[in-house]
């Protein structure tokens, strides 16, 4: 078929012959094709070749019954869903982030001087978050350092008996209560 399709002239509608056979062309285009078939031997030969192929195919498949599995639809859906994930490219997330960044820059340039107010507000917001995080980190560091100092002090002087452990536990609990009381006072102020 390929060699015959190459022999058809450049003005011949070789790609539309199968659409003509299937009745998929508009009536005006179908009349143009029939007029072309009246003068072009190559296209008539291609038309007859395709008709013969369809007749042979219909005769061979006419008496055959194809048995499909019971879960055929489920298998098709599962295969289709599993192959869709493979269609994505590895760089797709990078492209999405790049496009979002480009849109953000475009919006910033489009709004002009008004962006300064927005960016300064964002900067002050993140600065406040960093300050609170730094304060909480410093508080945690101070608490851990205090506990280590108290433990080292009592570990060197106190005997490791039940009374010493109880005294250490009481001092530790009192220290935590004092820290929590101080935090609640700071929060109220």
Residue 129 in tokens? 């978050």
Residue closest to 135 by CA, chosen among 186, 188, 185, 174: 186
Q: What is the pLDDT of residue 7?
A: 46
Residue 66 in tokens? 């194809």
Q: At what angle do helices 115-157 and 92-111 cross, to 10 degrees?
A: 120
pLDDT in tens, the chain (189 residues): 443 444 455 678 778 888 888 888 899 999 988 898 899 889 899 999 989 988 888 887 777 777 778 888 888 888 777 665 555 666 777 888 899 999 988 887 777 766 667 677 778 889 999 999 999 999 999 988 887 887 777 676 655 666 777 777 788 888 888 888 888 888 776
Q: Please state the length of the chain.
A: 189
* Domain ranges across the chain: 2-62, 116-188
0.75 exceeded by pTM: no
Q: Are 8 and 46 in contact (CB under 8 A)?
A: yes
């Amino acid at each position: 078929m390929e060699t015959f399709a190459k022999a058809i002239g450049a003005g011949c509608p070789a790609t539309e012959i199968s659409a003509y056979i299937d009745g998929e062309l508009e009536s005006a285009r179908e009349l143009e094709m029939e007029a072309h078939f009246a003068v072009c031997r190559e296209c008539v030969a291609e038309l007859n070749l395709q008709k013969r192929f369809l007749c042979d195919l219909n005769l061979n498949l006419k008496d055959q019954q194809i048995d499909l599995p019971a879960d055929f639809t489920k298998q098709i859906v599962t295969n289709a869903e599993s192959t869709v994930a493979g269609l994505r490219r590895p760089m797709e997330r990078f492209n999405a982030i790049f496009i979002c960044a480009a849109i953000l820059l475009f919006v910033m340039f489009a709004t002009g001087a008004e962006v300064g107010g927005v960016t300064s507000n964002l900067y002050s917001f993140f600065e406040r978050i960093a300050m609170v995080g730094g304060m909480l980190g410093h508080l945690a560091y101070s608490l851990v350092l205090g506990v280590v100092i108290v433990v080292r002090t009592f570990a060197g002087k106190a005997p490791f008996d039940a009374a010493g452990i109880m005294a250490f536990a009481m001092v530790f609990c009192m220290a935590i209560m004092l820290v929590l009381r101080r935090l609640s006072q700071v929060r109220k102020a």
